Amino acid sequence: MHKSTSIFLLFLLTGCIENFDLPTVLNGERRTLVVDGSITDQEGPYTVKLTNTKPLSADTIAQVETGATVIIEEENGTSVTLVEILPGVYQTSPNEIRGEIGKSYRLSIRLFDGLEYQSTWELIRRTPEIDEIRYDLSSENGQGAQLYIDTQDKLGLSSFFRWDIEEVWKYEAPLVSDLIFESLGVTSDKSVEDIHRICWKQSKVIDIMLSSVSDLSQSSIQNHPLAFIGSDSARFDIRYSALIKQYVIGLQEFNFWKGLRDTNVNIGSIYDNQPYHVEGNIKNTLNAQTEAFGYFRANAVIEKRIFINRSEFPRASRPDPAFSDCVIFDHERKCVPGQTVSECSRVHEEKLLELIRVGARIFYAEPYFFTNQVCGDCEKYGGSTVQPTYWKE
């Protein structure tokens, strides 16, 4: 309903949302523990991250909670203590515990300073299969792919669904050279591993994807729009893949995600609800008023992977090549009158080497052609040349 009213406003106006610098410095309240962890019906290890909130105005990285004791407990069953593998990151040992559908799990935390927190019991609900993932590549919403999902629970037990999407895509650096620039006039061959031509980059869709069927006569979700994948970051340069993870969740968890969405995503209309503090499922054991942010999830996971090739896009909406602005720099010597030739060459070489050293330029071709880093080395664009095991051509 809010959608249409804000769209109505758009009809009256053009561009009514603008960037705006807040005049006041927003000072953070006291630090609060943030818990991000889960157990699933899939094989572990399971990870729990403990961090803290940080003031909005600060550029610092959130402080992590090290030295805590973190325990995952199965109702009427075993409990395991997680090991801190990185500062603030706690993990179960392999094969120590595995979530089972129909059982409940709880997270207990004792911080280094002695404060204790505990989550509510979280039941792992059966998650039905994903029937189909479809995508629409027409340019109606801009360049990219709109994903849709069909799923249903024939037993009618599932009311609330949530999805995560993990994505990976293959791309190519267009101006890769198999030579290394040593100095002016001197090059050497690159080893095969150093030629970073094809890479795979991984990411996660940050949208909060939720759906409730509690007011439907069947537990059936048809043609539900999941997320729109934009064509930025070379996603559709060669081939793209999305792994859709489906979870059936309980009402409490649904309200938590909905709260995050209401207060962080669905904002900016004049009929916005009052923002509020979103309640998670973890509280201080001594003082129920002291909450931790975040949610300890226990879910059964159903996955489905799709692939999209660049060639599938209709011609009209084919995304622009990601590396269209790759420039080749021709570093000719420009000698100043009065300079000796050798002095000129030396100064020029120093400049070139400095540019290469700081990474501003990368050698492209003989004799003296250079290009931007990301155009000549796909790893510089954030990917890895290692093909993921699940990748299919």
Q: What part of residues 68-127 is at the interface with other proteins (CB under 8 A)? A: none
If binding means CB under 8 A, how many residues of this protein chain bind other proteins? 75
Query: In Å, what is the CA distance from 166 to each residue of 19, 207, 241, 382?
Result: 30, 11, 8, 16
133 with 210: CB under 8 angstroms? no
Does 16 bind other proteins (CB under 8 A)? Our answer is: yes
Does 8 bind other proteins (CB under 8 A)? Our answer is: yes
Could you write out the DSSP letters of every residue in 364-377? Answer: EETTTEEE-HHHH-
Query: In Å, what is the CA distance from 115 to each residue of 78, 281, 294?
Result: 23, 16, 17
Write down the residue that tokens 């492209």 correspond to: 364
What's the closest the beta carbon of residue 276 comes to other proteins, in angstroms? 4
Nearest 10 degrees: CA dihedral of 217, 250, 129, 100?
A: -140
What's the closest the beta carbon of residue 94 comes to other proteins, in angstroms? 23
Does 218 bind other proteins (CB under 8 A)? Our answer is: yes
Does 23 bind other proteins (CB under 8 A)? Our answer is: yes
The closest alpha carbon to 279, from 301, 251, 306, 298, belongs to 251
What's the closest the beta carbon of residue 150 comes to other proteins, in angstroms? 10
Which of 77-85, 118-126, 293-301, 367-375 is the region at the interface with other proteins (rule: CB under 8 A)? Answer: 293-301
Does 276 bind other proteins (CB under 8 A)? Our answer is: yes
Please, what's the largest Cα pairwise distance for the chain?
88
What's the closest the beta carbon of residue 193 comes to other proteins, in angstroms? 30
Task: Scan residues 153-172 and list those touching other proteins (CB under 8 A).
Answer: 164
Cis peptide before 367 (omega within 30 of 0): yes
133 with 205: CB under 8 angstroms? no
Q: How far, in Å, CA of 98 to CA of 82, rounded?
A: 13
Which of 23-31, 173-181, 239-247, 363-371 is the region at the interface with other proteins (rule: CB under 8 A)? Answer: 23-31
**How many whole angstroms from its chain centre is CA 22?**
28
Q: Which lies closer to other proteins via its Cβ, residue 203 or residue 385?
A: 203
Which of 29-37, 102-110, 305-313, 341-349 is the region at the interface with other proteins (rule: CB under 8 A)? Answer: 29-37
What's the closest the beta carbon of residue 235 comes to other proteins, in angstroms? 14
Could you write out the DSSP letters of every residue in 113-141? Answer: TS-EEEEPPEE----PPEEEEEEE--GGG
Q: Which lies closer to other proteins via its Cβ, residue 216 or residue 386?
A: 216
Task: Scan residues 239-268 and list those touching other proteins (CB under 8 A).
Answer: 255, 258-260, 262-265, 267-268
User: In residues, how long is the chain?
Assistant: 393
Q: Which lies closer to other proteins via its Cβ, residue 7 or residue 386?
A: 7
Which one of residues 83, 270, 286, 386 is an interface residue with other proteins (CB under 8 A)? 270
Q: Which lies closer to other proteins via its Cβ, residue 175 or residue 227?
A: 227
